[in-house]
Structure 1
Amino acid sequence: MSSEIPNPDDNDVQAAQVMSARIEDEMEQSYIDYAMSVIAGRALPDVRDGLKPVHRRILYAMHEAGVTSRSSHRKSSSIVGETMGDFHPHGDSAIYDALARMAQDFSMRVPLVDGQGNFGSVDGDPPAAMRYTEARMSPIAEELLADIEKDTVDFQSNYDDRLTEPEVLPSAFPNLLVNGSSGIAVGMSTNIPPHNLGEIVDATIHLIDNPECTIEELMDHVKGPDFPTAANIVGRNAIHQAYKTGRGRIRVRAEIDVEQDAKGNDERIVVTELPYQENKARLIERIADDVNDGKIEGIRDLRDESDRDGIRVVVELKRGASAEIVKNQLLDNHLESTFGVINLALVDGQPKVLDLKETLQEYLKHRREVVRRRSEYDLGEAEDRAHILEGRLTALENADDVVELIRDSESRDDAKEALMEAYGFSEAQVDHIVSMQLGSLTSMEAEAIEEEYEDVQATIERLNEILDDESELLGVIKDELRDIKDEYADERRTSIIEDTGSITREELIPQEDVVVVVTEDDYIKRMPATTFRAQNRGGKGIIGTDLKEDDQVSSVFFANTHDYLLCFTNHGQVYQLKTYEIPEMSRTARGKSAVNVIDLDQGEEIEAVVNTDEMDEDEFFTMVTRDGYIKRTAVDDFSNILSTGIRAIRLEDDDALVDVEVTDNTRDIIIATTEGMSIRFDEDEVRAMGRTARGVRGIQLTGDDKVAGVAAVEEDRHEWLLTVTKNGYGKRTDIGNYRTQSRNGKGLIDIKTTKRNGPTCAIETVAPGDHLVAMSETGQIMRTRVDEISTVGRNTMGVIVMDLDDGDHVAAVDVVPAARASAESEKDVETDDAEEPAAEAE
């Protein structure tokens, strides 16, 4: 079998050499090449001029086309076409988007393009088509291109090698910090906020004068980002972090004012400044959605009154709504955003995260090179001009001989050679001399040439000083920066306000005493305690809730909106509840399902509520059950309560938790039963137990008797035991009438539970000035001073406390401490003609 030599003319000739490569290595290298192409060629700005290639090419194309701030506006489509055809072959859409952004005063701190037409809005409206809009360079954009024709920057070939384009613009001011930049590359992104031009110039000059200065010293000049849409930066710590590390998260908050309406009756919230890059139209939609969903309450109307003069979003409030609460809710959810600073830019073609000082140092390094190259260019031009002027001056000094020599020459070339031989002129000099007009031989012309020569010599001397002395060169940079500041800088727009901490929902809720009602069908609501004025005892009270058919009130308790409550249920569970989480509703409203607030099981009812703000670590929860068991458990055991609750006591034989008191190892305990018995003993007789324990016997029950409640007696306090029965009767009895016994006894008679009175409903220890809040099963609620209730002995029937309709009973009671009870004036006290039954003697 013979081998054949391939024919070079054959189309199927194999490669002379085949190289093997691992596909993962090839993919890795190809991806890195692609990533660097995107990073350097599209997505990231150059630290020197703060521009991405597309922005740089747009401005250079406008410069080449003469579309400056002094020319007329040019169709955007023309500018885009020239940029795309000569420098940026990546599609007209990308070029026009970049052009439009440079014209938006809400995107750029100092717009680089002067646009005419619709270039978009803060509502997210897109610019009009490029065939409808016109543009030209803004005056400050020309400062980025100033002296570009003086060999100040390097040029490179364009994409098809027909033309050249600048690698970077001379940039007479630190545009990267002034206008900021944002972009997403492959594996990295940049997000640089805009700043105030005057502050950045001051910081740059300070760095020139103090090269070893710290970032903190630079921050004496640069207060923080300065957004074109103004608004407020919250706190300074994030600014410091961003400037020191190149990364940070800055909170930006809208500017909000509270105004009165035209009649001076209702308040309105007016938003006049929005966080940077916030879409106003979408913001208003989100607020409206939250209002409709009930997430934000108190807003009656929402409208946009913005015009060419600025932003104005008006939030009309409902009558009685708190402007401060609504304002903070809007801030918490909508009117505050976070600007994530990533100060990433290209340094020598490589991406690098820079702090504030490094950014300015890189700019100054570039600017020094620009001024040096410009000075060298100007020096060369000046020296060439001086050389020409020297020849002209020599010719003027020998005007007669020069004229005669030229006249005697047969041709211009002969004249040049004769002049060069006679006076040692250079070729450039004789070119000018033979072109001189006779009019230039006058004395005035000669004087003008001498003056120009002196000026050129002074220029040469100055340029040499700049090139030979670094301080002179830096002085030129400073002078030029000051000129730009004087011409273009404006006042700071974004304010920096102190960070008072994150706003919690609790802080939005005013402190207010409320009455909370829970029904057996698990409806719950809260009402201001001021809704219920103190009445004389024996009244009917007023309606406190609207009940469904076959529903009835199961519990009522008094609390403050900022209280953290522990709710103990008949099933022996305990739940944690924040009062302000309970929906506030009118007294004639039914309430809302409790499942949204507290996850109760079927048949589970709240039996006792304890305010955690009033507890100390060394205290105990003392719990009693329906069957007479008592247990004490340390407060610390209830530090971590799940949303689904935790077990507070173990119940057996269908027993149920009835009541809970907080004790401190110094109290006496009184347990009362439904049939009017009571027992008092020292709490030390009940040892502390864990949450899952059942407890010990507290009282011996006879027959069908059950425990009604428990009370804790505080030493050195003038107290009575208040007993309330199901039929609305009650009495106060001095604590001293209840002698101390050992636990697990039968106790003494507390109250006569006759057919008139009904069984005991609840007991409480009360003091002068306390108020009693009682609520019936049908929803009637009454508030009265405990001083209105007669003080009698133990074995008595008591007096009427609440006048109930037939078939109605007291469902629950609570006591408002004197310190929190509202003082009632005489006109607020309601009287009742019901005759008070006489108290029976013991």
Structure 2
Amino acid sequence: MSSDAPDVFDPAAGIAAEVETARIEQEMEQSYIDYAMSVIAGRALPDVRDGLKPVHRRILYAMHEAGVTARSSHRKSSSIVGETMGDYHPHGDSAIYDTLARMAQDFSMRYPLVDGQGNFGSVDGDPPAAMRYTEARMAPIAEELLEDIEMDTVDFQSNYDDRLEEPEVLPSAFPNLLVNGSSGIAVGMSTNIPPHNLGEVIDATVHLIEHPDATVEDLMEHVKGPDFPTGANIVGRNAIHKAYKTGRGRIRVRAEFEVEDDDRIVITELPFQENKARLVERIADDVNEGKIEGIRDLRDESDRDGIRVVVELKRGANAEVVKNQLLEHHLESTFGVINLALVDGQPRVLTLKETLVEYLEHRREVVRRRSQSELEEKEDRAHILEGRLTALEHVDDVVEVIRNSASRDDAKAALRGEHVVEVDGQPLPSFDFSEAQADHIVAMQLGSLTAMEADEIKSEYEDVQARIERLEAILGDSDELDAVVRDELLEIKDEYDDDRRTSIIEDTGTVTHEDLIAEEDVVVVVTEDDYIKRMPLDTFRAQHRGGKGIIGTELKEGDRVSSVYVASTHDYLLYFTNHGQVYQLKTYQVPEMSRTARGKSAVNLLDLDDGEEITAVVNTAEMESEEEKFLTMTTRNGYIKRTSVEKFQNIRSTGIIATKLDEDDALADVEVTDGERDLILASRGGMAIRFAEDEVRAMGRSARGVRGIDLEDGDEVAALAAVDPDRHQWVLTVTENGYGKRTDIEQYRRQSRNGKGLIDIKTNDRNGRVCELETVGPGDHLFVMSGEGQILRTPVEDLSTVGRNTMGVIVMELDAGDSVASVDVHFPAEESEEAIAESEAGEDAGADGGDATLDGEDETADTE
């Protein structure tokens, strides 16, 4: 090979030797971790010791170094931002100014750390003015965070260009993390710490100093909960306890408002971080879209004195319903607590106690280092004072040595005893001062040799010695150190404590859909083709008996009304069907419609099978009692049974079995009883039997029951009624041709069940068959609905009291081909007292003119 041939490339030589091979996934993982930790520790999360992120800490330290304290004049915000950015925080000026502005907002910080002058934004979301227009200085409480920072109380680190030093943490004379809270989003984690009342947090910290074994519950005796700068209310204490116990929780915050004069709702405090202007806009949008009803005007009357948003209500609007609508959509928010902070540079979720423990450890270290620094300073001063006192005791000799020394350095050396000064061959007295003492003595002025100056030096020396003893005691005894921490915290409390702004109210449950529905009595109509609707009860005024009533519903061709009943919109109702099933539904879930509307298919509300019809409705309000209650059911074929209401606690959306039925049988009626009542069974053919309830034993839901009445061929059960022994009652019977009667209940003597019973009413061609039998009392109103959709409301007292086995009187005038489909009884409270008084005064027991009332013989057959 020729000598000038190129060398063979050696990959192990030169620059290539410095290249390292790495797997890309490992490099990406490590680089991302480095980036994440840089964001976590250097930008996004607060330190548990002073509660500040680096940008907050750097702004305050830059202001401190520039002398922009609470006692100085305000300085342009742009100047503060520039110094912070140039010396300590190498990021954009907008981020620094946003932080500065937030520290000046009294609606963002519970105790603002910056005293701003100018426009720093508003609760309406208005941004601060440009930094060149605003001015700022430290707030007095911010100085407490930096107090004693020059006394070696905290560690310092180099700034970003190694030109200056900045503190790693501030001394923080109070637990700022809890007092002002913090929020931030890091990589893979975030923090959201609510602000608290300064006095409460300090009281809890002092309690922890005195009782290191205190629990979170003990500390909560002092820290009641977050205290937001905008006030408002925290709903419930359980979420607060969870947040303090675990470091995480969801706190419901509700606006402060009141109803004035029943026609306006005035909002005076908003949940923390709620944008007022946006809130008013959202409410207005919901009103315009019909999501919130009952509001006619909305005004923002807020000024410098506080928030005032006025919601004017329409005439007749239910203020409680509007209030609940506002609560559900606008006046409540959730504050998600994540008590995450840096502890020794690592992110940790902390409980309330852990947060205060970490702060106390920091504060103890600050006081210890401050005391050590001051002790060294005092010991140096004591050493100087000792030298001065010694010099004053030998003032003549000291002056002679200094005066006869060749130079200042010779004088210092002579005072240190390093050589002897001679005068005329005679040595002057020698001394053993230290270098610092000698330097000080040589620099003393002649005026300090007076007797007064000497007394002052002695007094100062005694004070310094006393302070040294105190500092040594603090450093040598942890209890003494804790006492200093406690006393300084209490001084901060005395200086800056104020009243709590956020109230804590009991949790009465979240606003449900039911709260948004006005509670009122309604009439519910169900048809044979399973159309259902509700109408306000006051749609139907009471009329005299014998009228036609008014239209209650429009029917499609071939459909007829099957049942009508009265209930409150907030009632839970049990719907029993002819198939023996039972379903559960809230009345307000039935759509509200006009009298002339057809209704909505019940299939959309109840999972009914083909041919399944609602035959009875029970209000669960009647089942609420400390006494045991039963659902007593009867079938068309005369069977009857009782089942405890406890068997009906968990009703599925598809319904559950209420009773077992024979193939040719159907459920006819249901009543709520208590085991001690009498029952009355009425048949279509006009027979009725009364017997004691305890003759029917309690059974399960799947049982068929026992015989209640012995029916004639072709007859069937029409209704079941229960006798209330605590109320004066009559037996009211209505027939399908619109006739009816009211009979004293005592005319129905008690028999044994499964008898044929007594004749209740004549069921001839005029009357038709029995449609309904009810037990009624003074003040009750009768609601009669025809198959063609007419509804008549009339007081039961309009029907004269007559005997059994009579024809009765006209109750409702029906058109040709129409018949009574359903009857319900309602007790209107507002009319009850007058009705009861009339009943007690007595009334004519005879027949109304023109109506036949023929008494007949009792027909009884008491066979079992």
Q: What TM-score comes out, normalization by structure 2 length?
A: 0.80
Q: How much has 1:371 moved relative to structure 2? A: 1.5
Match for 2:497: what amino acid? A
Please state if 1:300 is matched with 2:304.
no
Partner of 2:734: 724
Q: Is the 8 A contact 2:671 2:722 kept in 1?
A: no
Instruction: Please say if residues 47 and 359 of structure 1, whose CA atoms lie closer than 8 Å, have aligned partners that are also in contact.
Output: yes
Partner residue, 2:223 = 222
The 10-residue stretch of structure 1 (167-176 or 771-780) with the greater mean CA deviation from structure 2: 771-780
Superimposed CA distance per residue, residues 283-307 of structure 1 (whole angstroms, 9 cap, x where no aligned partner): 3344445545555444333332222
Cross-structure match for 2:719: 710
**Closer/same/farther in 2, CA of residues 366 and 793 from structure 1, 3 Å limit:** closer
CA shift for structure 1 position 168: 0.8
Query: Which residue of 613, 616, 624 maps to 1:608?
Result: 616
- Matches of 1:423 and 1:689, distance apart in 2: 113
8 A Cα contact 2:232 2:271, kept in partner = yes
Contact 2:809 2:848 (8 Å CA) reproduced: no
Counterpart position of 2:850: 837
Q: CA deviation at 1:170?
A: 0.8
Equivalences, count? 815
Range that drifts further, 136-145 or 367-376: 367-376
- More moved, 242-251 vs 39-48: 242-251
Report the AA paired with residue 728 of structure 1: G
Q: Does 1:369 align with 2:365?
A: yes
1:381 aligns with 2:390: no
What is the distance in 1 between the residues matched to 2:756 and 2:94? Answer: 91
1:146 Cα offset (Å): 0.9
Once the two structures are superposed, what CA deviation does each residue of 1:213-248 show, in whole Å capped at 9, x if it has no partner?
A: 444443333233222222233333433333333333
1:783 to 767, 791, 794: 794
Q: Pairwise CA RMSD of aligned residues? A: 4.7
Is the Cα contact below 8 Å between 1:172 and 1:481 reproduced in 2? yes
Mapped to 1, the partners of 2:276 and 2:609 lie a distance apart of: 45
Structure 1 residue 33, shift from structure 2 partner: 3.4
Deviations 1:604-653 (A, max 9, x none): 864432334445775443343xxx79797967776554445568799999
Residue number in structure 2 paired with 1:186:
187
Residue-by-residue CA offset, 1:650-672 (whole Å, 9 max, x unaligned) = 9999x996843348898564331
The DSSP-based 3-state class of the residue aligned with 2:49 is coil
1:814 aligned partner, one-letter code: D
Instruction: Measure how far apart 1:686 and its partner are.
Output: 14
Instruction: Say if 2:286 is the partner of 1:248.
Output: no
Output the CA distance in 1 between the equivalents of 2:259 and 2:598: 32
1:174 CA displacement: 1.4
Mapping 1:262-277, distance limit 5 Å = 266-277=262-273
1:527 pairs with 2:536: yes
- The alignment status of 1:14 with 2:16, answered yes or no, reads yes
Q: Larger deviation: 505-514 or 744-753? A: 744-753
Residue type at the aligned position of 2:812: M
Match of 2:844 in 1: none
Equivalences for 1:461-476 in 2 at 5 Å? Answer: 461-476=469-484
The answer on whether the counterparts of 1:515 and 1:558 sit within 8 Å (CA) in structure 2 is yes
Within 5 Å, which residues of 2 pair with 1:68-83? Answer: 68-83=69-84
Contact 1:621 1:635 in 2 (8 A): no
State how 1:629-708 maps to structure 2 within 5 Å. 640-643=650-653, 659-662=668-671, 667=679, 669-672=681-684
- Greater shift in the superposed pair: 683-692 or 518-527: 683-692
| Alignment equivalent of 2:276, drawn from 280, 289, 307 | 280
Q: Which residue of 1 aligns with 2:63?
A: 62
CA distance change for structure 1 residues 187 and 698 in 2, over 3 Å: closer, same or farther?
Answer: farther
Distance in 2 (CA, whole Å) between partners of 1:203 and 1:790 is 75
Offset at 1:178?
Answer: 1.3
Q: How many angstroms does 1:166 deviate by?
A: 0.8
Counterparts of 1:298 and 1:580, CA distance in 2: 18
Moved more, 179-188 or 640-649: 640-649
**Matched AA of 1:526:** M
Distance 1:408 1:689 in 2: 123
Letter in 1 for 2:795: T
1:256, 1:272 within 8 Å by CA — same for their partners in 2?
yes
Take 1:724 and 1:825, find their aligned partners in 2: how far apart are those partners? 21
Instruction: After TM superposition, give the deviation of residue 546 of structure 1 in Å.
Output: 6.8
Cα shift at 1:148: 0.8
Structure 2 contact 155–169 (Cα < 8 Å) conserved? yes
1:538 aligns with 2:564: no
Task: Report the CA distance between 1:411 and its aligned residue.
Answer: 4.3
Residue aligned with 1:423, SS: coil
For the residue of structure 2 that corresponds to 1:220, the secondary structure is coil
816 and 369 in structure 1: CA distance in 2 versus 1, 3 angstrom threshold: closer
Aligned equivalents of 2:209 and 2:91: distance in 1?
39
* Contact 1:557–1:814 (CA under 8 A) maintained in structure 2: yes
Q: Indicate how the Cα distance of structure 1 residues 583 and 119 shifts in structure 2: closer, same or farther if over 3 A, else same.
A: farther
Counterpart Cα distance in 2 of 1:138 and 1:738: 89
Corresponding residue to 1:314 among 310, 314, 318: 310
Matched, 1:816 2:826: yes
2:634 is aligned with what amino acid? Answer: T
Question: C-alpha distance in 1, partners of 2:303/2:67?
Answer: 34
Task: Report how far residue 556 of structure 1 moved.
Answer: 2.0
Distance (whole Å) between structure 1 residues aligned to residue 291 and residue 849 of structure 2: 49
SS of equivalent residue, structure 1 residue 47: coil
Query: Does the 8 Å CA contact 2:392/2:454 hold for their aligned counterparts?
Result: yes
Letter in 1 for 2:734: V
Deviations along 1:692-734, one digit per CA (max 9) or x if unpaired, are: 99999996877xxx97933457698998764434553334578
- CA distance in 2 between counterparts of 1:827 and 1:508 reads 37
Instruction: Note if 1:491 corresponds to 2:499.
Output: yes
Summarize the alignment of residues 92-171 of structure 1 with structure 2, pairs less than 5 Å apart: 92-171=93-172
CA distance in 2, matches of 1:825, 1:742: 34
Structure 2 vs 1, CA of residues 116 and 10 (structure 1 numbering), >3 Å: closer, same or farther?
farther
Q: CA deviation at 1:783?
A: 1.5
Give runs of aligned pairs for residues 24-43 of structure 1, distance below 5 A: 24-43=25-44
Change in 2 beyond 3 A, CA 1:662/1:439? closer
Deviations 1:35-84 (A, max 9, x none): 33332222222121111222111211221222211222223233223222
Stretch of structure 1 that moved more, 571-580 or 197-206: 571-580
**TM-score between both structures, scaled by the size of structure 1:** 0.82
In the alignment, is the contact (CA less than 8 A) between 2:761 and 2:808 conserved in 1? no
1:556-608 Cα deviation digits (max 9, x unpaired) = 212244432223457886542222444667x8675864667657799986443
**Counterpart for residue 516 of structure 1:** 524
- 1:136 Cα deviation (Å)? 1.6
SS in 2 for 1:150: coil
* 2:575 counterpart SS class: strand
| Amino acid paired to 1:92 | D
